[in-house]
Structure 1
Amino acid sequence: MSRPDHMDVAAYALGVLDAQDTERFEEHLATCWACAAELETMVPVVGLLSDIDGETMSALEHTQTDPALLDRTLVAVRAHRRRSRVRQLLATAAAVVVLGGLTGIGFNTVIDDANPPSVVAEPTLPAPAPPTDSTGGGPTGPGVGGNEAEGDQYDATDPSTGVQTTMFLAQKEFGTRINFSLRKLPGPRTCRLVVIRKNATTEVISTWSVPDEGYGTNTQPQGLELSAATAAKVGDIKQIQVQSVDGNGVASPLVTVGL
């Protein structure tokens, strides 16, 4: 351009720049927020000039109106026709900035995903999960294992370990669903839920880990709530036992529920 880019805002708004200067200024406008903001303030003023139609202009021309003023007005009207083009350009420039901000957010998300925070291992449940039964209604009581309490309730406290449990056993077509909660369970340790049938066979139906603070303790008052299932019918079960398993795989009972 023949003069600094920042000086061409008014000339551009009024449409007095030639084609070459117009193109160069629009390239400058795409990266200069100062000029874009100044141009935006001029748009309403130029818009007012658009209300003057061709007939009015012709009438003015046939009067003793200053010819120079008439020429400037005609130029302003023509500039108004470019207003939609200017607004589109401003919107494009704003979109570029917004996209840049979103890209930064996306980059941070990728970084966070690449370094996920450490979490305590959650209890593992057997697969496949038992189907949901929407017909049965159990006794009143707290929900455990993420499900509403259903079935017969059994409470037990081991006199040696002090571990407490509440279990709800519900008869299902696939076998038995067991919702249970544990309290006074110290950690760290690995635990498992074992079904002992009346025919003396056993089945491990769930395993989980207990963090250092345990569950239902002074350090961690919140108890542990889990849900599991077995193919055994309720009438075939003699006992359900929560066991602690050491590093050598040796299990010892923590609390036992007798049916």
Structure 2
Amino acid sequence: MRPLEPHRDVGAYALGVLGAADTFRFEEHLAGCAHCARLLEELGSVEALLAAYARWTPPGVDPVAVPSPALLHAALDAVGGRLRARRRVRLGLLAAAAALVVGAPFAAPALLADPAVPHWTATASAPGVTATLAAAPAGFGTDVGLDVDGVSGSAVCTLVAVGRGGEEDTVATWAVRDGARVTMRGAAALAPADISRFEVRAQDGSPLATLSRSG
């Protein structure tokens, strides 16, 4: 048995290398020492990592052997390849997102002009506001094209799909600059058959236009 070194035997105790008598004496000290108890808790993760490292080390291999330069280069090449692959994926996603953003305004007029797509017209609106909407079924719900004009001043507007049960699904939000006409494309999770009406609303929630199915 050796002299007890309070606060310094935590690591040896965590690794289980203290003798039986020293372990007993340290546990007596640990019962009244919050500092050592906290250190022991922190060392628990280190012990688990060391145990895992020992399990992963092949038999006959020194756990602390220095890796060869070839192994280091191979590891660096593998990591670099993974990073380059991830970078290519990120760039591809960004390009796809940019294409959607750029293409959406041009796709909306085509959707609105398609006679095969069911159209919705404004049945109630604020003074001067006109709106036309096309809603086509899609795998995600409803593909929506909207043309709205006559919103006075500069404002933030929202297009909402209202379900037959009263549930609401936000289709798009946009800013109107100086009353300019807006044509846009959006999407609703509700299927067309489940939509009772569409509403164009001002930022404070007041209705600017209510659209119902044509015909």
TM-score (norm 2): 0.45
Give 1 or 2: higher helix fraction: 2
Give 1 or 2: higher strand fraction: 2
Larger relative contact order (CA 8 Å, sep ≥ 6): 2
- For the pair shown, which has the larger CA radius of gyration, 1 or 2? 1
